[in-house]
């Protein structure tokens, strides 16, 4: 067969596609929703804390005519926050900036990356310090055998997840003097197992139809439990140093956390968590800027900076459930 000329390589020069590219990035950060932001003017300050027992103890007395009432009172303690600075930058050499082809846009991609870096850092901060045992007022372990423990919800024969969660809601209500927990955080594995649990499916089956079969969603689960919202943690990250074969961690996995959370800064209210952002120095929670590289002046730096402190204020407003499912 004769050679066909010109060949394919002669009539087409390979170039980058401009309508598709591949990028992996976490799509669902929830730390800021569990610990609502509190903008503050100073990097560190004190938080007034009214001592709970003085508001649970009745010292009022029945009085005789003209008898003076007893004098009592309450105590106020202080807690504190300290917003530490976090930052990351990406360098764009002038040669790269001037030589790039579509679909690349170095400044846009760098801005997205440094923004994502701070959000990932804050998510890992939350996971390290609050998605764990020994932090909350009550720890419960799947198949742990203790007084606060429960049968793993992956045991579809004997476990009772809705009853368990309502029991933990009573615990928080008791510990916070009547406030109902309003947020449930589930690892993605925990949610997947709960979504197929017979107790949950039995509860929703009558709302299903041939056109709309029964399907458990976070909003539906929140309604069943009387919560404001159910959040699903899906963050994946690696701690492998750059250059090695990366191994990845599923941040939320098989655990769960039930909390009472104020949706905004409030006076004289308990709340499980807040995220304090020092905003006066940067003008915002998270600051991004572009400037010339000061060392070489032969490229641009895209920098992201933020001052924050994720602070637990009311440990008794939370119940952490570890190893909830298999």
Alpha-carbon gap, residue 260 to 229, rounded angstroms: 11
At residue 258, what are phi and psi to the nearest 5 degrees? -110, 130
The residues that bridge with 257 in the sheet, in sequence order, are 185, 320
pLDDT band for 256, please (50, 70, 90 cuts).
very high
Alpha-carbon gap, residue 150 to 194, rounded angstroms: 14
Has residue 201 got a pLDDT over 70? yes
Has residue 33 got a pLDDT over 90? yes
Average pLDDT of the segment spanning 18-33? 88
Alpha-carbon gap, residue 255 to 251, rounded angstroms: 10
Has residue 1 got a pLDDT over 60? no
> Can you give the pLDDT at residue 250?
95
Has residue 20 got a pLDDT over 60? yes
Has residue 32 got a pLDDT over 80? yes
How crowded is residue 41: how many other Cβ atoms within 10 Å of its Cβ? Answer: 9
pLDDT in tens, 164-197: 999 999 999 999 999 999 999 999 999 999 999 9
- DSSP structural state of residue 90: E
Alpha-carbon gap, residue 179 to 284, rounded angstroms: 32
Are the CB atoms for 152 and 160 separated by under 8 Å? no
> Can you give the pLDDT at residue 212?
57
- DSSP structural state of residue 150: B
> Can you give the pLDDT at residue 206?
67
> Can you give the pLDDT at residue 320?
98
How crowded is residue 236: how many other Cβ atoms within 10 Å of its Cβ? Answer: 13
Q: Where are the domains of the chain?
A: 29-55+73-322
Query: 29-55+73-322 maps to which CATH number?
Result: 3.90.1690.10
Residue 37, token pair as written in the block: 């932001």
């Amino acid at each position: 067969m004769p050679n066909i000329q010109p060949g394919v390589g002669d009539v087409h020069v390979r170039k980058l596609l401009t309508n598709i590219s591949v990028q992996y990035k976490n799509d669902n950060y929830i730390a800021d929703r569990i610990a609502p932001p509190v903008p503050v003017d100073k990097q560190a300050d004190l938080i007034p804390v009214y001592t709970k027992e003085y508001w649970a103890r009745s010292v009022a007395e029945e009085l005789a005519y003209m008898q003076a009432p007893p004098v009592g009172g309450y105590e106020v303690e202080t807690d504190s926050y300290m917003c530490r600075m976090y930052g990351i930058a990406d360098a764009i050499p002038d040669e790269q900036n001037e030589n790039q082809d579509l679909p690349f846009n170095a400044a846009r991609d760098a801005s997205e990356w440094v923004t994502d870096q701070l959000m990932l850092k804050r998510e890992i901060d939350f996971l390290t310090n609050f998605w764990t045992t020994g932090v909350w007022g009550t720890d419960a372990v799947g198949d742990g055998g203790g007084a606060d423990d429960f049968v793993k919800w992956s045991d579809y024969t004997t476990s009772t997840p809705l009853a368990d969660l309502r029991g933990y809601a009573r615990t928080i209500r008791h510990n916070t003097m009547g406030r109902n927990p309003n947020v449930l955080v589930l690892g993605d594995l925990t949610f997947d197992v709960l979504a197929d649990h017979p107790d949950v499916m039995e509860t929703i089956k009558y709302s299903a139809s041939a056109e709309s079969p029964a399907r458990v969603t976070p909003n539906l689960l929140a309604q069943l439990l009387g919560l404001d919202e159910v959040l699903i943690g899906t963050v994946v990250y690696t701690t492998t140093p750059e250059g090695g074969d990366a191994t990845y961690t599923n941040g939320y996995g098989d655990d769960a956390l039930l909390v009472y959370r104020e949706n905004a800064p409030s006076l004289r209210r308990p709340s499980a968590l807040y995220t304090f952002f020092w905003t006066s120095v940067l003008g915002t929670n998270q600051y991004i800027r572009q400037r010339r590289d000061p060392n070489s002046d032969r490229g641009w730096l895209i920098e992201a900076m933020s001052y924050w402190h994720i602070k637990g204020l009311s440990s008794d407003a939370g119940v952490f459930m570890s190893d909830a499912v298999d």
